[in-house]
Amino acid sequence: MSEKYIARSSAIASRLLGGEMMIMSAADSTFFTLNPVATVVWQVADGRTPLSEIVVRAVCTEFQVDPDIAQRDVERFVEDLSKHGILLVSDRPFPNSTLGPPEAA
Amino acid sequence: MNRSCEITIEIGGMPILLHIENDTFRQMLARRYAGFVGSPSRPRFEFEVELTAPSADDPDDEVRVEMQAGVWRLGRGDFRAQWDPRAGRGRIRQSANPYSIDSVLRIVHTLILAREGGFLLHSAGAIRNRRAFLFSGLSGAGKTTISRLAPADVTLLTDEVSYIRRDDDGYHACGTPFAGELARLGENCSAPISCLFFLKQGPENKLESVDKPEAIRRLMRNILFFAEDMSLVQNVFQSACEFVERVPVQRLTFVPDSTVWGMVQ
């Protein structure tokens, strides 16, 4: 299976509130609230770390989830947000110029 | 410029000087914005108002607000305006219709506030015991009803659009002349905000907590903002989040009679 890379869109506004990430699409004002697992994935979506590594290092370690289940859940979440243009997905690392600012904790 | 053809409209402590070539129109605005007419000596921004012949252009057309080369361009069927915020000057082209200039002022204030951490909110607002209370909701939620039911010790800030400013002490609500169905101008005063209520009419008076994500979602739905500008949209979102972190937000279900004001203290 080919590797995936994910990056946060720069056309959004986001804020961490009570451990959950609030995200609003600046294009159409669609609003999302991420659960704690999705929030961690969002925070480390730097466009350069392979998704499989994000799952193992960030999700499985922090939430003690089975890697296969975590991989499946994260891919579903990534697909969902990418449909709304909130997350960008590529099969190769993103060049620096396409990335937004680092996510604030 | 002839002083007699100028008028300063001061909303939220933000004086905007209008140079108007037609004194009849100026007098119309003086009556419309009575209580919000300020001194022309130190305006924050100035606009030349050029009046055109009445046209059939539709004021219900979609508003367009975009920045081009540092100048805001505002347009709708019934007006065109441009405003250079760095120079502090702009120009409005419209017929002698107070609704058009009212819309331009609303848009300009949303742009000013977006840079300063505030916003215009689709809500009624009132002061009681030196604290401001906001009652937000879409049309039909009860903003006019709760304004109409306000007892004598309540100072009405608006029944339609609240002016929210942020300063070092927190958030203040200011009165506006932007009236809704009550067709009554608010009082030109302000107070620190004690609570934001999202309104709903129901069979009994009831207060319920609103979690923060839901509060932000509802707040964003009711903030007036028109500009197609990514960085300002992001500013407004951050302002909404900060507001919800600092100001209590509750859902107020109410019976449309005066007993509801017993819950607003």
What torsion do the CA atoms of B154, B160, B166, B172 make, to the nearest 10 degrees? 0
What per-residue confidence (pLDDT) applies to A101?
59
| B55 pLDDT more than 90 | no
**Are residues B129 and B210 located together in one domain of the fold?**
yes
Task: Give B196 or A86, the one with higher predicted confidence.
Answer: B196
Same domain, B123 and B243: yes
- Which tops the pLDDT comparison, B159 or B139? B159
What pLDDT shows up at residue A99?
61
Q: Do A26 and B238 touch (CB under 8 A)?
A: no
Same domain (yes/no): B24, B147: no
pLDDT digits (tens, 9 = 90+) for B232-251: 999 999 999 999 999 999 99
Instruction: Verify that B168 and B44 share a domain, yes or no.
Output: no
Tokens of B174: 């200011």
Task: Tell me, yes or no, whether B253 and B164 share the same domain.
Answer: yes
Residue A98 near residue A18, CB atoms below 8 Å = no
Confidence of residue B46 (pLDDT cuts 50, 70, 90): very high
Q: Please state the rounded mean pLDDT for residues B70-89.
A: 95
Domain C-terminal end among B67, B88, B116:
B116
Q: Quick one: B259 and B211 in the same domain?
A: yes
Q: Are residues B84 and B160 in the same domain?
A: no
What is the average per-residue pLDDT within A7-15? 92
pLDDT of B3 > 90? The answer is no
Q: Does A11 touch chain B (CB under 8 A)?
A: yes
Q: Is A17 on the interface with B (CB under 8 A)?
A: yes
Residue type at B218 in one-letter notation: R
What angle do helix axes B98-116 and B23-32 make, rounded to 10 degrees?
60
Instruction: Please check whether residues B127 and B232 belong to one and the same domain.
Output: yes
Q: Please identify, among B97, B116, B135, the residue that sits at the C-terminal boundary of a domain.
A: B116
User: Which pLDDT score is estimated for B190?
Assistant: 97
Q: What CATH code would you report for A5-90?
A: 3.90.930.60
The residue segments making up the domain with residue B237 are 119-263
Asked if residue B258 lies in contact with residue B151, where contact means CB atoms within 8 angstroms, the answer is yes
> Mean pLDDT for chain B?
93
Q: Please, what is the angle between helix A67-83 and helix A36-43, to 10°? A: 70
Looking at the 3D structure of chain B, how many domains does it have?
2
The residue from B58, B83, B116 where one domain ends is: B116
Q: Is A26 on the interface with B (CB under 8 A)?
A: yes
Q: Residue B4's pLDDT is what?
A: 61
- Check whether residue B79 and residue B50 sit in a common domain: yes
Mean pLDDT of B26-31: 94
C-beta separation of B128 from B245 below 8 A: no
What is the tens place of the pLDDT at every residue in A22-72? 999 887 778 899 998 999 999 999 999 999 999 999 999 888 889 999 999
B167 Cβ contact list (under 8 Å, min separation 6)? none
CB spacing of B241 vs A15 below 8 angstroms: yes
Alpha helix positions (H), B16-171: 23-32, 98-116, 143-148
Q: Tokens at residue B49, please? A: 């108002």
Question: What is the rounded average pLDDT of the residues B64-93?
Answer: 95
Q: Per the CB < 8 Å rule, is B233 touching A13?
A: yes
Q: Does B44 touch chain A (CB under 8 A)?
A: no
**What is the tens place of the pLDDT at every residue in B207-234?**
999 999 899 999 999 999 999 888 899 9
Interface predicted TM-score (ipTM): 0.75
B22 and B59 fall within a common domain: yes
For chain A, the structural domain boundaries read 5-90
CA distance A19 to chain B (A): 11
Q: Which pLDDT score is estimated for A102? A: 60
User: Are residues B205 and B154 located together in one domain of the fold?
Assistant: yes
pLDDT score at A105? 46
Note whether B188 and B81 are same-domain residues: no
CATH number at B259 reads 3.90.228.20
The Cβ of residue B188 has, within 10 Å, a number of other Cβ atoms equal to: 20
User: Which residue in B100, B164, B169, B96 sits closest to B132, CA to CA?
Assistant: B164
